[in-house]
Amino acid sequence: MNNRTIPFAAFEWLIAWRYLRARRREGGVSVMTVISLVGVTLAVFALVATLAVRSGFRYEFVKTILGANAHVSIQTASWRTPGGQLSRMVRDYTAKVARIRQVPGVVRAAPVIRGQLMASANGRNAGVEVYGERLDDMQTLPLFVHPESSLGDIGDFNKGVSIGSGVARELGVGVGDRIKLISPDGVKTAFGTVPRVKSYRVVYIFSVGRWDIDRTRIYMPFAEAQSFFNREGFADEIEINVAQPEKIDRYLPALRKAFGERAITWTWWDSSGAFLNALKTEDNVMFIILSILVLIATMNIVSGLIMLVRNKGPAIGILRTMGLSEGSILRVFFIVGASIGIIGTILGVVLGSLFAIYIDPIFGFVNWMLGGNAWDPSVRYLSQLPARLEAWDVIRAVALSLTLSFVATIFPARRAARMNPVEALRYE
């Protein structure tokens, strides 16, 4: 046979396939092959599933930030009122909102009143954050118009207040019930400031899927909020949403110019950037840890191939005496090891993808098995475990698994290729 053969010729694949499907009497080799295949499959499955859950968590978290909050808020730097008090209330907010809406890329601009109060109903109390907004502006917030779940009609917003599902659960109220809002900075009398207490009917209950929003937030008609918080003629800030929130810094100069002098901006990245950076760091650490798991799985390929080379020593000697080159022997055993890595990677990606697609029933079963305590939204913020399969995560997992599998295969394949045929056949 000619020593100069075409790389990865058909006969090399045939020999590799013969070795890969070892017979039962060669149990040691076949068992190691199965163990290697299962190890790579489970390692890639764990990597793909974990990356999908991490991507889903990050995506849902950012979506709720951008869908339920302003992308940037603008306030006025402190100024003195005629009474000599420092204030950050926004004057001439109507004109400022009109100018800001003319800035290219701005999709929403709304004056807002904000305040922290005590809500009370049915003998229960809860600390809440109240937002005063106009109905037209409320209807431009995606997660409040189309939340995960809701009760009541947002069209009745001007007839009462809208509260988060967590607030409703804490106070034990539903649509049509009344709650009391208590503000320590209330009515000023000759005897001092008296806390303001007022009752409102609940007209809309929303659940956006973020625990910290559903548990604390209440929306009140803008004019009513001005009266309740003693802000007649003023707004606390102007909320702005833009077309490309991930590029929010590009909008800031134009927004400050439209607002006027003494503008102070606060973006969604300022409020949540540290948490998102922590998530990114955690993702990188998780990828490294799971990469070690894939590396350990590929080491099984090395051990399996070493056993195969020892068992097939005489056969290798015969093939060499028949004229097979070292390169052909190397490629035969490389095909064996690489095939295990490729098949295991494909199976792992399929299992990981199915896990991400059917995460809800799988997690529902796990949650049921653990008595409903598998997920605490007060710690993880989101109301359910998310998963999002992204092409880049799958590509990273596949590239890592195949690279480690191919590299791990080279050592035993080279050992087989350099085997001396005389030594291999000496005791045959």
Asked if the model's pLDDT at residue 408 lies above 50, the reply is yes
> What average pLDDT does this structure show over 251-267?
90
- pLDDT tens digits for range 32-87: 778 888 989 999 999 999 899 888 888 877 887 787 788 999 998 876 666 656 66
Burial class (CB in 10 A: 0-12, 13-18, 19+), 293: middle
Tokens 């990245």 label which residue? 269
- pLDDT tens digits for range 205-223: 998 877 778 889 999 999 9
According to DSSP, the residues that pair with 149 across neighbouring strands are 207
* Residue 8 zone, left/alpha/beta (φ > 0; ψ -120 to 50; rest): left
- pLDDT tens digits for range 163-216: 999 999 999 999 999 999 988 776 666 555 677 889 999 999 998 877 778 889
pLDDT band at 250 (very low <50, low <70, confident <90, very high): very high
Contacts within 8 Å (CB) and 24+ apart, 182-189? 182/117, 182/118, 182/119, 182/120, 183/115, 183/117, 183/118, 183/228, 183/229, 185/229, 185/230
- Confidence (pLDDT) at 365: 73
Of 104 and 230, the structure prediction assigns the larger pLDDT to: 104
Nearest Cα to Cα of residue 220 among 302, 261, 168, 163: 163
According to DSSP, the residues that pair with 18 across neighbouring strands are none
- pLDDT tens digits for range 82-133: 665 666 788 889 999 999 999 999 999 999 999 889 999 988 999 999 999 9
- pLDDT tens digits for range 356-368: 888 877 777 776 7
- pLDDT tens digits for range 304-356: 777 777 776 667 667 766 767 777 777 888 888 888 889 999 999 999 999 88
Of 9 and 113, the structure prediction assigns the larger pLDDT to: 113
Distance in angstroms (rounded) separating the CA atoms of residues 13 and 159: 77
Distance in angstroms (rounded) separating the CA atoms of residues 326 and 313: 14
Non-local (6+) Cβ contacts of 116 within 8 A are 127, 128, 129, 130
The top-scoring range by mean pLDDT among 231-240, 275-284, 416-425 is 231-240
- Confidence (pLDDT) at 347: 95
CA angle 126, 131, 136 (to 5 degrees): 140
Tokens of 358: 């059917």
On whether the CB atoms of residues 406 and 339 are closer than 8 A, the answer is no
> What average pLDDT does this structure show over 396-405?
91
Q: At what angle do helices 93-101 and 252-259 cross, to 10 degrees?
A: 140
Sequence spans of domains, the chain: 10-63+275-425, 78-261
- Confidence (pLDDT) at 85: 63
Asked if the model's pLDDT at residue 17 lies above 80, the reply is no
Tokens of 174: 């539903």
Asked if the model's pLDDT at residue 426 lies above 60, the reply is no
* Helix, coil or strand: residue 6: coil
Non-local (6+) Cβ contacts of 142 within 8 A are 67
- What does pTM read for this prediction? 0.73
Q: At what angle do helices 10-20 and 326-357 cross, to 10 degrees?
A: 60
